[in-house]
Amino acid sequence: MPRGTRDGMAGGAAEQRRLAAVVEGWLGRPVLVVGDAMLDEWRFAESDRLCREAPAPVLTLRRRISAAGGAANTAVNVAALGGRAVLVAPVGADVAGDELHDCLDRAGVWDRTVAQPGRPTPVKRRMLAGNQILLREDSGDADDALDDDGVARLLTALDCATEELRAAGGEAPTLVVCDYGLGALSAAVRAWLVTHRERYATVALDAHDLADWRGLAPTVVTPSFAEATRLLARAAGTRPAPGAGLHLDHPDGDPADGPSELTVGVSPGGTLAHHAAHRPGPTNPTGEPTAGEGRVAMTGDGLTVTGTGVTVNATAGEGVDRAVLAESRLAELRAHTGADVVAVTLDTEGAVVGGADGEPRRSHSTPVPASHAVGAGDAYLAAMTLALAADAPLPTAAQLAQLAATITVSDTGTCVCRREDLLVALDAPVGRAGHRALVGTDELAAIVAEHRRAGRAIVFTNGCFDVLHRGHVRYLEQARALGDLLVVAVNSDGSVRRLKGPDRPVNPVEDRIALLAALVCVDHVVVFEEDSPAELIETVRPDVYVKGGDYPPEMVPEAPLVRRLGGQVRTLGYVPDRSTSAIIDRIRAHGQEPHEDTSLTPEPS
């Protein structure tokens, strides 16, 4: 192999190790997410005929999925990437709100949302046939603003969550603001965040309307191309004095339109070349069209924007490279937002990122169906924020953010990037070397939720495992073969004493879990204090619950609970004459046998 090729491969491997080290370094970092939380609902249907009343397809619903959306999905991504995520947001006292709470619990997000009776939880409902989104129904808008009591309770929750994170992590937490114009972040809430800015080490801002947030001085802002264009158009002719705040008046008829989504690809069935060849005319603009808004025109040189709306006219500035335009205006965007870093997302074209050094960084994405890219911007924001909070250099943060957004778009649904998937994409070890077998109950719930979202079957078993022997190993190997993830719950020392007597356990829990964690067939070990694993079963909701013994599953005490939760119960026989009690009895019997005094017997040569 030529030396240059070897050097290039070595350099690439070193770069991936460096990126992986950043991912490992942000593990457990405290992040407070505040803003507009919503529920994403996906309805998958089939259609093979048109209805008689109109030329419309008749849909038969086959499957329904709910997921956290908006600020809630950003918090879920922070947790999935390994951060310690807390969400503060108003949530309605309704069915959608209950589902959103469940989504947060499954993801391991600390749910500090504030109930708002009479104010519905924002929902985005998508109806699909095949892989094509046929329609989207949105509920929740800026008219659902919080009342004075709701604002007061939200501010209290913000203050308490900030202190809770500081106390838990021993450092100033990171703040992520997700303002999608749905009423969660009123002027009073924005003023509170600006006033208390010094309580947060790193601040990330994703706002539909950046003009509202100049006083926040965020570390990073992540506008879409259309959001950045809106800000520049409003600021035309206005230059902020050094150190002075900038307020841009909102023009009449400039409505909020909810969260933007980073589209990492093109629409179903299309390609980049196809879309370039069939560029829509003035009646079908690109960007983020919003009813009732004017258009922003780009000139042919790619450097000028005019107008007050957010919709980019596709025919104005024909052939203009949006990346070139974004790069040329990064300094202005930093000045108008007060941010250290500006990352302008460019849909199918990736992103352009700029910092204080004035050097633009370019990243690229992979074309995918639009239904695969919902929420990819949340993954981008979460990874960018965690990387900057971990003091990663800006080029590294930009690389990890784009990678996180890109690897989430493999299937239809709301995008979530898992830490393990990010490490796999970096060719980093995520097996035994990068795998923490011993986990707590809260962390286990998040881990199981991630695997379940990926369609993996969860197997659960429990026991004392006082003296690990061949029978245990075969039993655990058989249990692991029944699914994709094996969770072993181990009785604490106190629990073992209550079950087995005062002379047990022989080995303390630290030794018992260390041996179990060393087995390749065991994915995660969790300790429980109770005599029964019922609470853990409620948390894990296993697909398969396994017990050792030759009796039928109906005799397992936990069987009714497991079946009520939708799982099945299996019993596996032990290896004959291999049991902890029998081994302990033999050892004790051996210790009590008289031994010949061999102190004077010469040792064999």
Check residue 368 and give its pLDDT. Answer: 62
What are phi and psi for residue 316, nearest 5 degrees? -80, 130
Angle at 480 between CA 479 and CA 481, to 5 degrees: 90
Same domain, 357 and 458: no
- C-alpha closest to that of 385 among 248, 201, 242, 253: 201
Same domain, 389 and 467: no
Q: Residue 27 in contact with residue 80, Cβ under 8 Å?
A: no
Same domain, 68 and 134: yes
Whether 138 sits among the annotated catalytic residues: the reply is: no
> Among residues 378, 421, 466, 523, which one is catalytic?
378
What are phi and psi for residue 248, nearest 5 degrees? -110, 125
- Domain-embedded: residue 217: yes
Check residue 400 and give its pLDDT. Answer: 93
pLDDT, greater one: 490 or 551: 490
Mean pLDDT, to the nearest integer, of 514-528? 87
Look up the CATH number of the domain holding residue 529: 3.40.50.620
Q: What would the pLDDT profile of 120-177 be if each residue is shown by its tens digit?
A: 999 988 887 877 777 888 887 767 788 899 999 999 999 999 998 888 777 899 999 9
Gap between the Cα atoms of 356 and 377, Å rounded: 23
In the predicted structure, residue 373 carries a pLDDT above the cut 80:
no
Same domain, 408 and 518: no
Q: In what order do the strands lie in the sheet with 361-363?
A: 110-111, 84-88, 30-35, 174-179, 203-207, 220-221, 341-345, 351-354, 361-363
Q: Tell me the CB-side half-sphere exposure of residue 156, using CA atoms within 13 A.
A: 8
- C-alpha closest to that of 183 among 378, 36, 33: 36
Encoded tokens for 464: 């004392």
Lowest mean pLDDT of 262-276, 428-442, 469-483, name the range: 262-276
- Domain-embedded: residue 355: yes
Mean pLDDT, to the nearest integer, of 333-350? 87
Q: What would the pLDDT profile of 398-451 be if each residue is shown by its tens digit?
A: 999 999 888 876 666 678 888 888 888 887 655 444 456 778 888 888 889 888
Check residue 85 and give its pLDDT. Answer: 92
β-strand 30-35 against 174-179: which pairing, if any?
parallel
Same domain, 456 and 396: no
The fraction of the chain above a pLDDT of 70, given in percent, is: 74
| Mean pLDDT of the chain, nearest integer | 77
For residue 242, count other CB atoms closer than 10 A to its CB.
Answer: 5
- Domain-embedded: residue 431: no
Domain that holds residue 69: 16-237+322-426
Same domain, 198 and 67: yes
- Domain-embedded: residue 395: yes
Same domain, 138 and 24: yes
DSSP single-letter state for residue 549: S
- C-alpha closest to that of 328 among 307, 304, 355, 356: 304
Helix (H) or strand (E) holding 317: none
The phi-psi region of residue 140 (left if phi > 0; otherwise alpha if psi is between -120 and 50; otherwise beta) is left
What is the tally of structural domains in the chain?
A: 2
Check residue 32 and give its pLDDT. Answer: 96
Residues 6+ apart with CB under 8 A from 21: none
Same domain, 372 and 477: no
- Domain-embedded: residue 434: no
Q: Residue 112 in contact with residue 104, Cβ under 8 Å?
A: no
Same domain, 483 and 419: no
Give the distance, in angstroms, between the CA of residue 260 and the centroid of all CA atoms in the same chain: 17
From residue 462, alpha-carbon distances to 128, 516, 517, 525 in Å are 41, 12, 14, 9
- Among 402, 426, 450, identify where a domain stops: 426
In the predicted structure, residue 57 carries a pLDDT above the cut 50:
yes
